[in-house]
Chain A
Amino acid sequence: MSRLVDQARSLSPAGWTVLPRLLWPLVVGVVIAGLIQFVIGPNISGFTSKVMLVAGINIIMAVSLTVVNGFTGQFSMGHAGFMAVGGYVAATITYYGSIKLFGTADFAGGTVSWTGAGAFEGPIVGKGDLLFIGSCIVGGLAAAGAGYIVGLPSLRLRGDYLAIVTLGFGEIVRVLLQGTPDQIQPWKAKEALDVPWYELLLKLGGPKGFNLLPTYTTLFWVYLFVVLTLIVSYRLKNSSTGRAFLSIREDEIAAQAMGVDVTRYKVRAFVLASFFAGMAGGLYAMDIGAINAGDLGFQRSFDFIIMVVLGGLGSISGATLAAVILTILPELLRDLPPIWPAGLVLLAGMAAAQKLRGQWRLRPLIVVAVLTAVLEIARRVCVAKGINIADYRLILYASLLIVMMLSRPQGLFGVREAWELFGRGGKKPAKGAA
């Protein structure tokens, strides 16, 4: 037995070779986020960049929820609760930290996190940025701790019960946060200097929310974390841990029989997912400059579930796509552009992919064509009658959820990624899919 362990150990890479593999996601993240912030950022309107920001936060939430709901098959309904935990912790540290360290709760960052009007004179990264990013990470860790606590009952609970417990957790978090005393307002920062830090940690604003936070979140920070989340979850999916997650999802008893420590992996999934959710919470709080537990109830968790389910339970690119679409859809629906060009492009793309693959399947093409036609007609009717579709957005989502479950229960992409769908010699769809 020990020989097997030794063999396995000798196969694992040596310490120094791991370092570049650990670091390149960070480098890639900084490069992509820098490009988005400094190349794309100045060329788009403030509104567009705001939508991109929210989309980024939603991507982090949806992809991290995919780890629990998609990979591991544990139905968590309290994801917004983790977001609230992380967000509040990060907000506390940034806000009171600024007061304690810098004397005011004002913005103290550099160019990367400047969101105000006009050009910014100062360093690229300021002292406030370090505080902010540290607080986001601590927020993530706090949420991960909460995830550990919630993950433990999953020892005994399955399916629906776990869903209810996570939902209950989210609600308890909301209720507890809303019961906290008022925050110390920024203009009373001097008073806060005399209050010990452990008392400050409890002054979270209660039902009024935690307001007037310095805003640090920019496209740079959001997309840095988006890239990190995506890379980590994609690597996770293809690692032994990820395979253990998927095996638990497919059949818990069989996984156990094959030597997968079901409990440990479930808890691990929860901890990982809540870490990212907590960080997203920090970004969210410091984006709008306020966080209110009332906004992070189970309705919010449902939003993320819809993203994950529509994208495909277990597909990272699917969740990303669904998060982006569902974020811009309300804006898009307000003034809906014609649908048929997008439909034509999609049809051409699918036809080209099938041509490359060398096999013709007419059914998906017909489905897309009919869908495009129906949507286009619906759009024309709405425009002609002066109906604002954005008002019916939630009805649309709900119907989409039901129709999806009835017709394509594995979601848009299933467990596969977007590029695996049309790839040459792509994997056969799993049994029960299609």
Chain B
Amino acid sequence: MTQFLQTLLDGVTVGCLYALIALGYTMVYGILKFINFAHSDVLALGVWMSITIAGWMGMGAAGQPTPPWYMGLLVLVGTMGFCGVVGFVIERVAYKPLRKAPRLNVLITAIGVSLLLQNVGQQKFAFGPYPKSFPSLMESSSLFTVAGVQVRASDVAVVGTAIALMAALQFLIFRTKLGAAMRAVSFNTRNASLMGINVDRVISFTFVVGTMLAAAAGFLYGLKYEGQAKQTADSMWVMLGLKAFVAAVVGGIGNVRGAVLGGLLIGLIEFFGVAYLSSQYRDAYVFAILIMVLLFKPEGVLGRATVEKV
């Protein structure tokens, strides 16, 4: 029972991270109809930027007391801001000129951006080629215990922040004028522009929001797995991003609620697979799920089927 609950907790926590990343994929896919391969690198950028900002603020050095919670929030906001700017630049420079190009070209460009971010990040003038440890911004001891399961402060912070961000996004998309514009552009770009929506601006905005969510996920990832942040060029980030993409596809790509549902599902499947089957094939479970979903319900759990028209 304890193992079950512990797995449930881990699955939900990581699922929240997947959901945050998946939201970025799904929003960009919903509007631009391409997989933003550079998304996982923005995630890595988020982790490394958090380390850098925390370093600037003098946190995380050995022997220092754990800083108050609002300092962590400050790091989060700073990281999201920085990554938002990076996302804006990426969209302007690499993707905007390709609006009318075939999707394959955009995909290749995205791979190029991904490789560029990875390798620039690894240079000495950026974050350097070595792993660093994430500063401890929270008490690492358990906050409270439920039925033998230790709930750590970082778990609560991860789930809480993720839920807050998702709620904010929900509000933005379904309750504001800008959100209505985003939905309109996603529904039909041409008609949206005829209705007086500045499509380019909406796309830029969507992209920036997606990037900021990935940055937040990066920060939260660092918070949960304090140990080591791998190098920026480590394939682990791509893997994490891919799993989140799988989550977006499982939930129904282009569907915001689907991304959240998919993220939780993938997180739970992964952790239950590891706990009850074998930890060796961790990555294989997720891709097996992806292939199953694509074969039997390609539009995803909450997505709607589209017919390719001539």
Contact = CB atoms under 8 A, between A and B. Distances in A.
Given A394-B119, A405-B108, 8 more contacts: A156-B294, A159-B103, A165-B294, A175-B284, A298-B235, A398-B118, A405-B98, A405-B109
A401 B112 contact: yes
Interface in A221-270: 253
12 contacts: A157-B294, A158-B308, A161-B249, A163-B107, A168-B287, A171-B284, A171-B287, A175-B282, A299-B235, A302-B111, A395-B116, A406-B109
Given A164-B35, A171-B283, A394-B119, A401 B109 contact: yes
Given A153-B294, A159-B103, A397 B284 contact: no
A395 B114 CA distance: 10
A172 to B, nearest CB: 5
Interface of B: 29, 34-35, 94, 97-98, 101-109, 111-116, 118-120, 123, 235, 238-239, 242, 245-246, 249, 280-284, 287-288, 290-291, 294-295, 298, 308, 310
B281 A176 contact: yes
A403 to B, nearest CB: 8
Given A156-B295, A159-B103, A160-B35, A394 B108 contact: no
B291 A165 contact: yes
- The winner among B107, B111, B280 for most chain A CB atoms within 10 A is B111
Contact of A75 (B94, B107, B239, B246): B107
Contacts of A161: 249, 294, 298
B113 A402 contact: yes
B308 A402 contact: no
Nearest to B310: A253
A389 to B, nearest CB: 13
B18 to A, nearest CB: 15
A99 interface: no
A263 B114 CA distance: 31
Interface in A148-186: 153, 156-161, 163-165, 167-169, 171-172, 175-176, 178-179
Contact of B290 (A73, A158, A164, A176): A164
A298 B97 contact: no
A382 to B, nearest CB: 15
Nearest to A150: B291
Contacts of B101: 405, 409
A401 B94 CA distance: 11
Contact of A401 (B34, B98, B111): B111
A401 B105 CA distance: 10
> Considering the complex of A and B, which 7 residue pairs feature the smallest CB-CB distances, nearest first?
A401-B112, A168-B287, A398-B115, A398-B116, A402-B112, A394-B119, A405-B109
B98 A406 contact: yes
B249 to A, nearest CB: 7
A309 B105 CA distance: 9
B284 A405 contact: no
